Amino acid sequence: MRICPIVPPIVAFVVVVMLTPQSSISQPQSDDRNAGTWAPPRTAWGTPDFQGVWDYKTATPLERPDEFEDREFLSEEEVALYEHRAATRADGRPPDDPRSAPSVHAPEWLDYGKRVVGTRRTSLVRIPQDGRIPLLSEEGQRRAAARRTARQSHAVADSHQARSLWERCITRGLPNGMMPAGYNNNVQLLQTPDTVVVFNEMIHDARIIPLDGRPHIDGTIRQWRGDSRASWDGDTLVLETSNFSEQAEFRGSNANLYLVERFTRSGPDTLTYEFTVTDPTTWTSPWTVTFPLTRASEPVYEYACHEGNQGLLNILTVARSIEP
């Protein structure tokens, strides 16, 4: 059984290497390094079989580092250098994490990825082409400023309700729950002819998603992780999610977030996962993230977040003790 510490913020990824001209780098075509000639397995009812436990940790950063500018891919030499640094950092953090203070997590707790994605992309963001999250819209900037003001006007220890949904063990949300983090980077997929289940290890979030063509629930009904519907686009499983709660949060977006996820078998041990987020009230354009899910060798273990949430108790206790 795992206990729930407070997760450190996502850190920047920086690689100091000799840059190789992009035109000289040949690119692998698949995230699965063992794909070869292969056809995806099928369920008894004929759809691609995605069932099992999948691991989505990776050393590749969400956004493209400044060092790579307009370079979409790493060379093989750069991959080897970065993966060596990822494997040998003593405190378990990503190799270019600038923090030097001891982590609240023991190194054996952390499960950051040690390998970059098989395509060798310099970022998980695939669209826009610069590998960066689009700029905030004017409305998004106003909301961001309002959030900063609110944080400054209230003590961080006023109430547990002032802390994030993640710290409170409610949910990591979407698509946060499907993005690489410091630990619990596992998801289990189950299928029936008319239903798909996406069960995340992080905060044991389970989505039971209809695959029978029914419409979304009424727009007045809002949920932490929205309302999802599944469909097939050829051999790709597509999940569309809307109806997010105004109290949900993904990089400043909430009620107006529209999320499309795509799962495709790309090799015997790999699913290619992609999501696109759209919210004109938050960003100036939609953006897309792509990375592999690799078949895991272990089951999803219980994540007893509420039962062991000492982090939230300690945050409130310490902050209150130092208030004037």
Contacts of 12 by beta carbon, 8 Å cutoff, 6+ apart: 61, 65, 96, 97, 98
Radius of gyration of the chain (CA): 20
The answer for residues whose C-beta is within 8 angstroms of residue 309's C-beta and 6 or more apart is 3, 4, 167, 168, 169
Q: What token pair was written down for 321? A: 């003790």
Closest CA to 258 of 272, 240, 285, 246: 240
Report the C-alpha gap between 247 and 173 in whole angstroms.
Answer: 10
Given a cut of 70, is residue 86 above it in pLDDT?
yes
pLDDT digits (tens, 9 = 90+) for 7-60: 343 333 333 333 344 444 555 555 665 555 788 999 999 999 999 999 999 999
Pairing mode, strands 270-278 and 227-233: unpaired
Strand ranges in the chain using DSSP code E only, listed in sequence order: 52-55, 125-127, 186-192, 195-200, 206-210, 227-233, 236-242, 258-267, 270-278, 287-295
| pLDDT at residue 176, rounded to an integer | 93
Three-state SS annotation for 101-132? CCCCCCHHHCCCCCCCCCCCECCCEEECCCCC
pLDDT at 33: 57
The 3-state secondary structure of 18-50, one letter per residue: CCCCHHHCCCCCCCCCCCCCCCCCECCCCCECC
pLDDT the model gives residue 253:
95
Tell me the per-residue pLDDT of 222-251, one tens digit each, with 9 for 90 and over.
Answer: 999 999 999 999 999 999 999 999 989 899
d(CA 285, CA 272) in angstroms, rounded, equals 23
Helix (H) or strand (E) run with residue 76 in it: helix 76-88
- Give the C-alpha separation, 206 to 288, whole Å: 23
At 12 the pLDDT is 37
105 and 182 Cβ atoms separated by less than 8 Å: yes
CA angle 232, 236, 240 (to 5 degrees): 60
Q: Is residue 187 within 8 Å of residue 178, measured between CB atoms? A: yes
Residue 199 makes CB contacts below 8 A (sequence gap 6+) with 187, 188, 189, 190, 205, 206, 207, 300
Question: What CA–CA distance (Å, rounded) separates 179 from 75?
Answer: 24
Q: Which amino acid is at 174?
A: L
- Mean pLDDT, the chain, as a whole number? 85
Q: Where are the domains of the chain?
A: 43-133+140-322
Q: Is the pLDDT higher at 286 or at 36?
A: 286
Backbone angles phi, psi at 176, to 5 degrees: -50, -45
Average pLDDT over residues 179-195: 95
Per-residue pLDDT of 127-157, as tens digits, reads: 999 999 999 999 999 999 988 887 776 666 6
Residue 243: count of CB within 10 angstroms of its CB: 20
- CA 191 – CA 205 distance, rounded (Å): 16
Strand partners, 253: 250
